[in-house]
Amino acid sequence: MPTLLTPPRRVLVAGDWHRHIAWALAIVRLLPSLLPDEAPRLILHAGDFGITSNWEGTRYLNRLNQALEEADAYLWFADGNHENFDLLYELAGDPATTDPVEVHERIIWLPRGHRWSWHNRTWLALGGAVSVDRVALTEQVNWWSDEEITASQTQRVLAGGTADVMLCHDAPSTVRLRLPPPVSWWSDRDLARADRHRERLQEIVDQVQPSYLMHGHYHLAHEQVVKMTHGPVRVTGFDRDEARWGNYRILNVETMEFEAGVPQQPAASEYLLERPRATPGP
């Protein structure tokens, strides 16, 4: 993991990209204008980044890494539920590690439980969520049981104590989300798993006691202050790739305020012709 000589002042925080090459490249190419004074520039990604081991996944990482190099940028991501965990654990060498894992020269995975410090605040990465479209997926091909936060991961996170900021993929259960009705073919079993996972994350949040939490997964851009057992938490959710607004925002890391207004968005011509073959659900 590259050492930033000084903590960044401004970063770009993004939600689900689902291995959408053209969308990812379009955003990276905007970085010099979105973060002109940062060196290097940094993207924090809240999961469903799109890790896979096939030719498409290799092409995605190679092209994105080249674009990041050209933009003098790095990308750090928490894992989502639509990632190839076999590949991530192979790269890590230890499935229990919390140390950052280099997926490519400029693309870094932040395993569940990784912590770092910026401007006297402790950050905690805690990816994972439930695929509610599980019935349409094949195990070890496009679905891995490692998508859920485990009991051992929970213990490691809680042993690390409190943190000021959490970068998650899922949202804890006290966060109210205005979601559309479930798709008819999603199974009740998977919907129940998703609810339990949110409750598990809530139990972790209650003990970690962050003041800020960012997440993806629900393809919903929102920001709200949620009253939790330890006090108010500002929760920010991010939409998915190709969203007209809300897939990414600029965060001032010193003040922990997202910049007002809509940041520059990619032109449709830059990404509509090159989409991933499958469009995953949350």
Cα angle 94-97-101, degrees, rounded to a multiple of 5 = 85
Domain containing 173 — which CATH number?
3.60.21.10
Q: Is residue 226 part of a domain?
A: yes
Domain that holds residue 24: 10-270
Q: Is residue 2 part of a domain?
A: no
Say how many C-beta atoms besides its own lie within 10 A of residue 222's C-beta. 17
**β-strand pairing of 73-77 with 107-109:** parallel
Q: Is residue 31 part of a domain?
A: yes
Please classify residue 185 by burial: count the beta carbons closer than 10 Å to its beta carbon, then call 0-12 exposed, 13-18 middle and 19+ buried.
Answer: exposed
Q: Is residue 281 part of a domain?
A: no
Q: Is residue 255 part of a domain?
A: yes
Q: Is residue 261 part of a domain?
A: yes
Total number of domains in the chain: 1
Q: Is residue 77 part of a domain?
A: yes
**Cα 213 to Cα 45: distance, rounded to the nearest angstrom:** 13
Tell me the pTM: 0.96
- Positions in the chain whose pLDDT score sits under 70: 1-5, 273, 276-279
Each residue of 74-91: pLDDT tens digit? 999 999 999 999 999 999
Q: What is the pLDDT of residue 231?
A: 98
Q: What is the pLDDT of residue 148?
A: 98
Q: What is the pLDDT of residue 149?
A: 98
Each residue of 177-204: pLDDT tens digit? 999 999 999 999 999 999 999 999 999 9
Q: Is residue 276 part of a domain?
A: no
Q: What is the pLDDT of residue 44?
A: 98
